[in-house]
A and B are shown apart, each in its own frame.
Chain A
């Protein structure tokens, strides 16, 4: 248990202070992860605020944020630690009057260890939020590595022994589900699916991020966004795009949504031509 929060309401309130409006599901799960000391696996469509959640938790709890960005080919030496070979060589050439045993013991000590995110998160004494971003992009082998780290919050370096966390990091894993994560990894985590927010929450998000926008305009633009999401487009507009659109409309000096405005600014929210065409038909926008 990391012990950042004392109630679900507190989670929601403090996240809101950091500008992250959490749904009930999000607040509850964050609170649970905090109390049970389990990593949190967050899935959901792009742009619903999975990474933002980790950042917000770090911000409101005053923790250090350690981020491991996963990509195809990320490996142990990028995720965990590696030995600083150049420095080791320098050490070997510099010290001439000592025995081999002394040198050998010396060059595999902490001084020559380069901590990568996972080890950094575990070794620190201060409260830490460990964000493992886009876990699904990493290869299957990396998952094996994560099992030890996330299960017991410890790392084994052969030359140094096992390093266990004195202060458990609050771990957040995000995934867009481009690849199915292994059952073993999922079992170690609490699971949270963040979906697009409901209309009411999304409107509050828009009002929080774009304070100058008119209330009725915000209501109707969120309704249009929701209608678009129900259309099963190739790329549904995300919350980020809702905010972009709100800013655009504000910039254009719009007072209410009109057919013309929507037609002209559809490109801000939809990123595929076929989506634009489809949305145009379904929203009954006149042909250009």
Chain B
């Protein structure tokens, strides 16, 4: 395959995965390849990334696709042809590599590990392949922690206490390498394009949030961008119109001093349209997690449009997570995990308790909601038969300018089982919001034109 063919195919696959690289970028990438050559793989990688990537969040997708298209080597690693590792030998070498933080050794061991423990099925038949899961299941790199610690004991002192976390990160890195290696081998077996195509899910904007898988959430994320852009244009149009107001006589005269008292540029009084503030209350319990994660991505995209965005997450306790959401985390699943681990959203048993969370919100954040605030509550209103505390909710929402409840469940499931949907709907406007399309319609209504 020629370099040009491989490059265009590479770009095609990137596009299918949501990296919007146009023909211009492909030309740039080709020029970069010409300038850089293939002598140094990491430089080739960085060069292509500079041309094809547009923002941070795309790097992980880019890297894994790059590994697929520009593999380190083809077939079995050189060494593995001569030696066949037993599990014990592999463990010993892994311990040494972890202790020394030797990236290239890890890369090689990942290749050996997949080769020795990752194959399933019979060669040649349609069901055979390579599995990272199976490899990691057999190798169990996480069990090596204590041995690596022992191997590193040489340097004592304050930093000793950091070892454990560092080794964990290295082990995680090794897992990634194994996944990449397995993927590369499968690609070799089945053809790159088929593999990457099968990873792309269909019709993203109508997939139910509650059923959406990881990759589909990524797909939906792509639709958020144009939506945010559309809202931005609407807001900008409004601001321009508002800027043409009355002449500000005082400032016009002040400015005319530099032109000898001739008022050459009249100054207009500016209206400052109140930009809406938004407060989000998110149910983070397992049942609605993918929905909440996705909505927070939307909030990230919208955060310049609103003068203030505050996000609170709850399960059976509530905590502010604004700093986590706005920190620019790209991966929704990782964001969800961070919220669960870093904010105190679980106080008791980890079952959602809307009543208790609302009570706590009212106690801890009495001043968050004001007359300029739009409040969004996201959740399925499944309260585990607890007290819904409707009065508390009404009290919280009273000062708000507008408030909505977005429920990711089908309307005919509301108030079935432990759902208190219709009870809450009597206090706050509740909308069915099952997919990205419905969400788009709702959010555009939040910005008054």
Contact = CB atoms under 8 A, between A and B. Distances in A.
A193 B50 CA distance: 9
B102 to A, nearest CB: 12
A32 B36 contact: yes
A31 B32 CA distance: 10
Contacts of B304: 178-180
Interface stretch (A95-103, A123-131, A226-234, A238-246): A226-234
Contacts of A36: 28, 31-32, 35
A266 interface: no
Contacts of A193: 53, 56, 59
Interface of A, secondary structure class, is: helix
A232 B334 CA distance: 12
Interface in B49-78: 49-51, 53-56, 59
Nearest to B43: A28
Contacts of B22: 187
A227 B260 contact: no
Nearest to B53: A191
A100 B314 CA distance: 73
Contacts of B232: 140
B55 A29 contact: no
Given A28-B43, A224-B159, A192 B50 contact: yes
B166 interface: yes
A28 B36 contact: yes
B296 to A, nearest CB: 15
B252 interface: no
Interface string B176-194: 0000000000000000000
Contacts of A234: 323
Nearest to A176: B328
Contact of A257 (B51, B53, B158): B158
A60 to B, nearest CB: 19
Nearest to B300: A180
A192 B48 CA distance: 11
A35 interface: yes
Given A24-B42, A190-B50, A258-B158, A89 B25 contact: no
Interface string B252-288: 0000001110101000000000000000000000000
B50 A28 contact: yes
Given A28-B46, A85-B264, A177 B56 contact: yes
A86 interface: yes
Given A36-B35, A187-B25, A191-B54, A227 B338 contact: no
A98 to B, nearest CB: 20
Given A43-B56, A86-B259, A183 B20 contact: yes
**Which residue, of A28, A183, A193, has the highest number of chain B Cβ atoms within 10 A?**
A28
Interface in A7-34: 8, 24-25, 28-29, 31-33
A86 B42 CA distance: 56
B161 interface: yes
A29 B47 contact: yes
B1 interface: no
A84 to B, nearest CB: 10
A168 to B, nearest CB: 15
A32 B48 CA distance: 10
Contacts of A223: 159, 162, 166
Nearest to B28: A36
Contacts of A156: none
Interface in B4-28: 20, 22, 24-25, 28
A264 interface: no
Given A187-B54, A191-B55, A262 B43 contact: no
Interface string A26-51: 00110111011010100100000000
Contacts of A224: 158-159, 162
In this complex, the interface size class of chain B, counting residues with CB under 8 Å from chain A, is 35 or more
A257 B159 contact: yes
Nearest to A44: B56
Nearest to A256: B157
Interface in A236-262: 256-259, 262
Interface in B127-174: 157-159, 161-162, 165-166, 169
B16 to A, nearest CB: 18
Contacts of A28: 36, 43, 46-47, 50
B251 to A, nearest CB: 15
Nearest to B169: A230
A284 B161 contact: yes
A86 B158 CA distance: 66
A201 interface: no
B92 to A, nearest CB: 25
Contact of B46 (A29, A283, A284): A29
A186 interface: yes
A64 B53 CA distance: 29
B328 A177 contact: yes
Given A24-B42, A86-B260, A35 B54 contact: no
B104 to A, nearest CB: 13
Contacts of B24: 187
A232 B232 CA distance: 30
A166 interface: no
B88 interface: no
Interface string A112-156: 000000000000000000000000000010000000000000000
Contacts of B85: none
Given A29-B46, A183-B20, A259 B54 contact: no
B301 interface: yes
B367 interface: no
A35 B50 contact: no
B236 interface: yes
Contacts of A256: 157-158
A21 B265 CA distance: 49
B20 A8 contact: no
A126 to B, nearest CB: 25
Contacts of B169: 230
A187 B24 CA distance: 8
A167 to B, nearest CB: 20
10 contacts: A24-B43, A28-B36, A31-B36, A89-B260, A177-B328, A186-B55, A191-B50, A191-B55, A227-B166, A256-B158
Given A35-B31, A186-B55, A223-B162, 7 more contacts: A8-B36, A8-B40, A180-B304, A187-B24, A192-B50, A223-B166, A256-B158
Interchain residue pairs A-B with the least CB separation, the first 8:
A257-B158, A28-B46, A190-B50, A220-B159, A25-B46, A186-B54, A29-B50, A227-B162
